[in-house]
């Protein structure tokens, strides 16, 4: 079996959560991200293959000059 790692944004609800759960159920490693890490961890459940990381894609990086606006 290959050692796949999934990096999933918005893993606290909706499709992101569904994808994270499916990847974990298939035995893959998952980096599950979201604005609220407690919500992501609670929604995804516990697994040795799960890493929860805070990520807010709406935050502008202050180190860029001029700032990157999406």
For residue 8, give the H/E element and its range.
strand 5-8
N-to-C CA span, the chain? 38
User: What is the rounded average pLDDT of the residues 34-53?
Assistant: 94
Q: What is the residue extent of each domain of the chain?
A: 5-54
pLDDT digits (tens, 9 = 90+) for 1-34: 568 999 999 999 999 999 999 999 999 999 999 9
User: What is the rounded average pLDDT of the residues 26-52?
Assistant: 95
Instruction: Give me the percent of the chain exceeding a pLDDT of 70.
Output: 80
**Can you give the pLDDT at residue 57?**
77
* SS3 annotation, 42-58: HHHCCCCCEEEEECCCC
Backbone angles phi, psi at 35, to 5 degrees: -70, -35
Q: In sequence order, what are the residues at sequence separation of 6 or more whose Cβ sits closer than 8 angstroms to the Cβ of residue 3?
A: 29
């Amino acid at each position: 079996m290959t050692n796949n790692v999934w990096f999933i944004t918005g893993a606290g609800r909706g499709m992101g959560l569904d994808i994270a759960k499916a990847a974990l159920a298939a035995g893959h490693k998952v980096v599950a991200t979201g604005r609220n890490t407690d919500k992501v961890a609670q929604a995804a459940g516990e697994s040795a293959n799960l890493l929860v990381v805070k990520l807010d894609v709406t935050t502008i990086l202050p180190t860029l000059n001029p700032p990157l606006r999406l």
